[in-house]
Amino acid sequence: MNTFQLRIGTPDGLLFEGEVERVVCRAITGDLAILANHTNYLTAIGEGEAHIVLADGTKRSAACIGGMISMMNGTCHLLPTTWEWKEDIDLQRAQAAKERAEKLLAQGGMDEASYKTAEAKFRRSMVRLGVKNS
Residues that bind ligand ATP (CB under 6 A): 82, 84, 88-90, 93-94, 97, 121, 124, 128
Least spacing, CB of residue 49 vs ligand ATP, in Å: 14
CA-to-CA distance for 25 and 34, rounded, in angstroms? 9
CA-to-CA distance for 106 and 85, rounded, in angstroms? 30
Least spacing, CB of residue 93 vs ligand ATP, in Å: 4
Computed on alpha carbons and rounded to an integer, the radius of gyration of the chain in Å comes to 16
CB-nearer residue toward ligand ATP: 8 or 89: 89
| Residue 93 C-alpha from the chain's centroid | 17
CB-nearer residue toward ligand ATP: 52 or 98: 98
Which among 101, 68, 71, 96 is positioned nearest to 82, based on CA atoms? 68
CB-nearer residue toward ligand ATP: 20 or 101: 101
Least spacing, CB of residue 111 vs ligand ATP, in Å: 18
